[in-house]
Amino acid sequence: MPSSATAPDRRRDEMRDFLRTRRARLAPADVGMPDVGRRRTPGLRREEVAVLAGVGVSWYTWLEQGRDIKVSGDVLDAIARALRLDEAEREHLYLLAGLNPPRAAAGPAVPVTPELLRVLDAWSPRPAYIRDRHWNFVAINDAAREVFGYGDIDHNCLVSFFTNVRYRSTNTRWAASAPGLVARFRADAARYPDDPEFARIAADMAAASPEFAELWARHEVSTETRAVKAIRHPEAGEMTFEATLLPLADRPGQSMVLHNPRPGTGTQERLEKLMARARLAHAS
């Protein structure tokens, strides 16, 4: 493909190679079909994939040839099942077709692995936590509890931002941060239009917080994954953190939020002293 090729052209080219290689790795016996006749190349024939997926042979051939044809999510799912694609491959197929991959179902809560807990502990004395797609806390390290004042009743980032009196009183950028926070929650909710939990959380928050209700009514959205948190800690004093949200690819909907002391603010030194005192207090 020449360098002047458009993005759709490149996607169709990639689609052609992807489908051909996925088809080549399957034998008829893998999908419960008889192995009839000599095969010039390994793997399933295009006609067999079309039959398994319930689509026309000509249509599937055009798709694999990289032609510019319309395709729906239902058809892509049928092809993914026919080719025995895993979740990563199914998502890749959607992206190559120019469609947004469907979001994974919420399902039951996934326990935090020991490896992730060790990451949170290793990030200390810097604050860190893991949250799910509804912004519920999944795991919090000791530094986040000490710095932000999260206690046993804190279960959700959004709820704590608006209802945790200590967090609000110590956050010197609270008013400036609130609009962006609500805009990010609305953007996350839009990714899961069939999930009623977002609407429930928003309704509860609107009833509990006039500030949230006013911001929610603006219908602003943001996909920013970085933020600045400034805290006036009652013992350590002023601390400023750069927060970065990192999605956990193998845990759909969950993200790790890491906080780094902002350089030149003295935050690192104050944080280390605060956590040293906290360790001594807990030890005694």
Same domain, 59 and 182: no
Residues 25 and 142 in one domain: no
Position 175 scores a pLDDT of 95
109, part of any domain: no
Do residue 68 and residue 127 come from a single domain?
no
- Per mean pLDDT, which of 8-12, 43-47, 102-106, 136-140 is the most reliable? 136-140
Burial class (CB in 10 A: 0-12, 13-18, 19+), 36: exposed
Percentage of the chain beyond pLDDT 90 is: 52
User: What strands, in cross-sheet order, belong to the sheet with 237-247?
Assistant: 137-140, 128-131, 255-261, 237-247, 226-233
Say yes or no: 119 and 211 in one domain.
Answer: yes
Give yes or no: residues 142 and 91 share one domain.
no
Per the prediction, the chain carries an average pLDDT of 88
Q: What is the pLDDT of residue 1?
A: 47
Residues whose CB falls within 8 Å of the CB of residue 175, separated by 6 or more in sequence, listed in order: none
Residues 254 and 214 in one domain: yes
Please check the confidence at residue 45 and state whether its pLDDT lies above 70: yes
Say if residue 37's pLDDT is above 70: no
pLDDT of 92-147, one tens digit each?
A: 898 888 888 876 555 555 678 899 999 999 999 999 999 999 999 999 999 999 99
| Distance of alpha carbon 259 from alpha carbon 139, whole angstroms | 15
Residues 134 and 163 both lie in one domain: yes
233 with 124, same domain: the answer is yes
Examine residue 106 and state whether it is found in any structural domain, yes or no: no
Quote the pLDDT of residue 10: 83
123 and 231 fall within a common domain: yes
Q: Is 256 a residue whose pLDDT tops 50?
A: yes
Q: How confident is the model at residue 258 (pLDDT cuts 50, 70, 90)?
A: very high
77/136 same-domain check: no
Judge contact between 216 and 224, C-beta under 8 A: no
Last residue of a domain, one of 96, 131, 160: 96
> Does 2 map to a domain?
no
Among 62, 96, 130, the domain-final residue is: 96
Mean pLDDT of 37-46: 79
Mean pLDDT calculated for residue range 214-226? 93
Mean pLDDT over residues 26-47, rounded? 79
For residue 72, give the CATH number of its domain: 1.10.260.40
The fraction of the chain above a pLDDT of 70, given in percent, is 94
Task: Say what the pLDDT of residue 43 is.
Answer: 87
Query: Does 5 have pLDDT greater than 80?
Result: no
User: What token pair was written down for 177?
Assistant: 């941060």
Residue that terminates a domain, selected from 63, 96, 129: 96
What is the rounded distance in angstroms from the CA atom of residue 64 to the CA atom of residue 61?
5
Q: How many domains does the chain have?
A: 2
In this structure, the answer to whether residues 145 and 233 fall within a common structural domain is yes
Q: What global pTM score does this model have?
A: 0.69
Q: Domain of residue 200: give its range.
A: 114-283
Question: Residues 146-167: what's their mean pLDDT?
Answer: 90
Do 76 and 214 lie in one domain? The reply is no
pLDDT of residue 70: 86
Check whether 245 has a pLDDT greater than 70.
Answer: yes
